[in-house]
A and B are shown apart, each in its own frame.
Chain A
Amino acid sequence: MSVKLNVRQVGDVSVVDVAGRITLGEGSSALRDALRDMVTKGQKKILLNLGDVSYIDSSGIGELVSGFTSVTNSGGQLKLLNLTKRVQDLLQITKLYTVFDVHDSEVSAIRSFQ
C-alpha cells in the first residue's frame, strides 16, 4: 500500500489523516500535492495525523520539512499528531523533532493553534 490522505475540517483546523508509506514516488508526491493545495487555498492551520503511517524514508522526511517551510512561509502553522515510534525515532535521529510541534492528542493539538 502506498499512501492515503484524507482531509477533514475541525473548526478552522485542517486535519490530514495520513495512512501508509511516505516514500519516494507516489507517497511523497501525494503528500506534497495535498499540502501545496491547502497552502494555495489559504489554509493556515494544518495538523498532519501520522498515526497510521507505517513507513517513512528520507524523501518523506524531506516532504515534511518542505511542507513545514511552505506553510510557515505563507503565515500558517503545520503541526504533527500521533507519531508512531518509528517516525518519532527518525525525527529524533535527524534532530527534526525539535523543529516540529508534535502532539499525541488531537484535542490538545487543535487547541494549540492560535
Chain B
Amino acid sequence: MGENTRHVSETVERFLDSTLDSVDSAEELAVGAAERAGFDDDDLMKIGMAVRESMVNAVVHGNRYNANKKVRLSVTRNSGRFTVRIADEGEGFDFDHLPDPLLHENFMRTSGRGIFLIRSFMDEFEIRRLDPGGTEVTLVKYMVSK
C-alpha cells in the first residue's frame, strides 16, 4: 500500500504505487468500505471488479508501471451514493473511440472488455482527462434501489 493516507469526513483517499499489488489493495479497500456500507455479495463483487478493472487501466495503461507515478484512489460514501474515484498520471487515451466488445468483429479480441464491464457493473461511470495530464474515472453505485 502506498503512503499518504488521510480520512476526510466519509472519504478515504490513498496514493498508490503503480504496481499490481496496488490493484489488489484498492479492490480490498473498496470492497471493505462497500461491505460496511451494507451492499450485498452480488454488489460487492461488481464494485470489486469495477475497481480492479479501473486500477488495472490506471497502473498498466495509464502510468505504465512507472515507479515515479502514483494512482490516486478515493472512496466516498454519502447521500445514498458509494463513489470511487481513480486517477492516474499517464498520457491518457482516446476513450471516445473504444471498440465495442459486443460487436461481432470484436468478439474474439483478447482485450478491451474492462471499461465495458465497469459500465455494466456500476450505476454511473464517468471518465475525464486531467490537467496537466492523467485520466480520472468516477464509479458510482447507488446505496438504495433506484
Contacts and interface: CB of A to CB of B under 8 A. Distances in A.
A59 B109 CA distance: 11
A69 B108 contact: yes
Contacts of B23: 24
A93 B52 CA distance: 17
Contacts of B20: 24-25
Contacts of B108: 65, 68-69, 99
B56 interface: yes
A57 B107 contact: no
B42 to A, nearest CB: 9
Interface residues of A, number: 20
B45 interface: yes
Question: How big is chain B's contact interface, by range?
Answer: 20 to 34
Contacts, number: 45
Given A66-B110, A95-B102, A59 B56 contact: yes
Interface of B, helix, strand, loop or mixed by DSSP: helix
Interface stretch (B2-10, B113-121, B135-143): B113-121
Given A24-B23, A58-B114, A94-B116, A65 B56 contact: no
A23 B117 CA distance: 14
B113 A58 contact: yes
Interface in A36-76: 57-59, 61-63, 65-66, 68-69
Interface string A12-28: 00000000000111000
A96 B102 CA distance: 9
A58 B49 CA distance: 9
Contacts of A8: none
A23 B120 CA distance: 18
B52 A23 contact: yes
B52 A94 contact: no
A63 B116 contact: no
B92 interface: no
A62 B111 contact: yes
Contact of A58 (B45, B53, B102, B107): B53
A57 B49 contact: yes
Nearest to B48: A55
Contacts of A66: 110
Contacts of B111: 58-59, 62
What are the nearest 7 A-B pairs in CB distance? A62-B110, A58-B113, A66-B110, A58-B114, A25-B20, A62-B111, A65-B110
